[in-house]
Amino acid sequence: MYCSKCGAWIDNNAAFCPSCGNIPAARQPVPVYQPVVHYVQPVQHYAQPVPRAPRKPMGLAVASLVLGLVCMVFGWCFLPVGIICALVGFILGLVSIIKRDDGRGMAVAGVILSAIFIALSVIFIITIGITFFEIFKSGISGFPFPTEGISIQAYNIKVTV
DSSP states of 53-75 as a string?
Answer: PPPPP-HHHHHHHHHHHHHHHHT
What does the chain look like in DSSP terms, one character per residue?
A: -B-TTT--B--TT-SS-TTT-PPPTTTSPPPPPPPP----PPPP-PPPPPPPPPPPP-HHHHHHHHHHHHHHHHTTTSHHHHHHHHHHHHHHHHHHHHHT-S-HHHHHHHHHHHHHHHHHHHHHHHHHHHHHHHHHHT-GGGSSS-SS-EEETTTTEEE--
| pLDDT per position as a tens digit, 145-156 | 555 555 555 555
Q: Check residues 77 and 15 and name the one with the higher pLDDT.
A: 77
| pLDDT per position as a tens digit, 66-94 | 999 999 988 888 888 999 999 999 999 99
Q: Check residues 87 and 159 and name the one with the higher pLDDT.
A: 87
Q: Check residues 36 and 70 and name the one with the higher pLDDT.
A: 70
Instruction: Kindly tell me if the per-residue pLDDT of 104 is higher than 70.
Output: yes
Residues 105, 109: Cα–Cα separation, whole Å: 6
What's residue 157's pLDDT?
55
What's residue 39's pLDDT?
73
Taking each helix axis from N to C terminus, what angle separates 79-99 and 104-137, rounded to the nearest 10 degrees? 150
- pTM score: 0.52
Q: Check residues 125 and 52 and name the one with the higher pLDDT.
A: 125
Instruction: Kindly tell me if the per-residue pLDDT of 43 is higher than 60.
Output: yes
Instruction: Kindly tell me if the per-residue pLDDT of 111 is higher than 90.
Output: yes
Q: Check residues 8 and 128 and name the one with the higher pLDDT.
A: 128
